[in-house]
Amino acid sequence: MKLESRLVTLAVNAVDDKGSPVGGLDKPDFRLLEDGKEQKISFFEKESATPLSIVLAIDGSETTLRNERLEKDAAKKFVATLLRPQDELDLMEFSDTVREIVAFTPNKQRIGEGLNDLQRGDATALYDAIYLASQRLGETSQSNGRRRVLLLITDGGDTVHGVAYDKALEEAQRHGVIIYSLIVIPIWADAGRNTGGEHALMQLGMDTGGKFYYVTEAKDLAPAFAKVSDDLRTQYLLGYYAPQRGRDTSFRNITLRMKDPALAEKYALRYRSGYYANGK
């Protein structure tokens, strides 16, 4: 059987027990395994300056959009501070359906204009949005270690019942998408609160190497955006060449560890749980 190799990249966040980013780590500090077999780390970048492709997907349902001015201002500030010339952002909204407002662009003014075009709806096509956003991210270039990120602003409800959760997750994993969620919680003790949807978003973050943040008021969006921005700016980027086994298209599990047991006790690592082989 002919063995080919595929470059697999892994964005990694290392944090201490307070959740603060850990700098100063290097390639020899890490041990990487695929399906339990050790792999050679071929390249390593500290505090990644690699380019970003981001889909910002905003829930347009009445339960999420409440103070539009504050929400738009927070999103515009996030775009202004995060986006560099080598980055690109795609703006989507989802309610009854999923709508792409601005296609991938580094142009902050165009994105700002798109944020002024958000529309409200009654339903929430959350998993449709994750599926379609992952597909769009899959069309972006992966040169120069480009990272693919989906940032959701939503209360976690999915009321359209189109694409299923499993399919949405699989599509994200197939395209190496990192999912972040800003989970909007109107009232902490609300009996109608969608905790199942919240837990699904948490799991999506864990499986893709992303994270979630709770937002209880519109004014909390700006600091939540800032945390996502900091997270993306303090990632390490690891790469390895994984052997391809014929036409196998199965899911490959990735495990990353600190070599030093003392460091392993001090620091937690966050990264995607694996990827789908391309079967070529």
Q: pLDDT per residue over 194-214, tens digit each?
A: 678 899 999 999 999 999 999
Show the domains of the chain with their CATH numbers.
Answer: 3-15+28-48+235-276 (2.60.40), 52-99+111-233 (3.40.50.410)
Secondary structure element (H or E) that encloses residue 89, with its range: strand 88-94
The pair of three-digit structure tokens given for residue 176, joined into one six-digit string: 């190496």
How many residues are there in the chain?
A: 280
The CA–CA distances, whole Å, from 209 to 26, 149, 182, 224, 272 equal 19, 10, 15, 17, 4
Predicted pLDDT of residue 249: 84
- Alpha carbons 268 and 110: distance in angstroms, whole number: 38
Predicted pLDDT of residue 1: 41
Predicted pLDDT of residue 193: 62
Predicted pLDDT of residue 67: 61
Quick count: other Cβ atoms within 10 Å of Cβ 121?
Answer: 18
The pair of three-digit structure tokens given for residue 99, joined into one six-digit string: 């709508």
Predicted pLDDT of residue 229: 94
Give, in degrees to the nearest 5, the angle at Cα 248 between 179 and 128: 30
pLDDT under 50: residue ranges of the chain = 1-3, 280
- Alpha carbons 227 and 211: distance in angstroms, whole number: 10
Report the amino acid identity of residue 258: M
- Which among 41, 46, 48 is positioned nearest to 254, based on CA atoms? 41
